[in-house]
Amino acid sequence: MFEELKPHIVELRKRLVICVVALLVVFIATFSFWKEILDFVLMPLKEVLPEQSNVVFTQLAEAFFTAIKVSFFASLLISAPIIFWQFWLFVAPGLYDNEKKYVLPFVFFASIMFFLGAAFCYFFVIPVAFKFLITFGGEVATAMPKIDEYVGFFTKLIIAFGISFELPVITFFLAKIGLITNKSLSEFFRYAIVVIFIFAAIMTPPDVLSQFMLAVPLIALYALSIFIAKCVNPYKEVNVD
């Protein structure tokens, strides 16, 4: 059995190595202007902070590790097309020749949807969610958010929305190779809602507003995925007579 899996393991290692090398190369480049990246990351928070508040760090190495985090986060976003491309090349040997031609559309739309999800989170979700979190209880305490904790929340939310917006692309791919239909997605819809809210609860800060702001778009994307599956691989009843 190991001999049968060995070629797949070797191929997986090759793709992972390429992804890691790409991340490291881009990381070296992004680390040289980590301050500009951090300013971009902090902008939504600073816009909702009261005048007497400021972002702080309380440990000696916190600023340094924050610089590493934001640089790696930027390198992950920039390297996303390469990662999607390597993922496709890994699964491509198991596809038919007519399915392999979707490599460029897959990489293109997967990258576009990932960046669209990240942008939706940055420009809409984060300002609303953090304004609620910062202003709640502002009358009894002064907000002094730690930079490390904020960056952690920020990157987690951005990645969660980026991954969530991949749902229509994944649906198109799975429907194209015949693994799912609109009927199978429709029948799973009630369970999908539960899974979506669990995912939202794990990936967002511990407040109901943030969870709903991730769950609602995900439910809408799931509904869109049903429509995509219907267009690509509609369910056909088989008459047994």
Residues 117-168 pLDDT 10s: 999 999 988 888 888 777 776 666 777 888 888 888 889 889 889 988 999 9
Domain residue limits at 57: 1-232
**In this structure, is residue 238 part of a structural domain?**
no
Q: Which of 77, 63, 64, 91 is nearest to 30 (CA)?
A: 77
C-alpha atoms less than 13 angstroms from C-alpha of 212 in its C-beta half-sphere: 5
DSSP annotation string for 74-89 = HHHHHTHHHHHHHHHH
**In this structure, is residue 240 part of a structural domain?**
no
Residue 141 per-residue DSSP state: S
**In this structure, is residue 121 part of a structural domain?**
yes
Sign of the C-alpha dihedral computed for residues 170, 175, 179 and 185 taken in this order:
positive
**In this structure, is residue 241 part of a structural domain?**
no
Residues 210-234 pLDDT 10s: 788 888 989 999 999 999 988 887 8
The number of domains in the chain is 1
What's the pLDDT score for residue 240? Answer: 45
Residues 4-33 pLDDT 10s: 667 778 888 888 999 999 999 999 999 999
What's the pLDDT score for residue 241? Answer: 47
**In this structure, is residue 96 part of a structural domain?**
yes
What's the pLDDT score for residue 70? Answer: 93
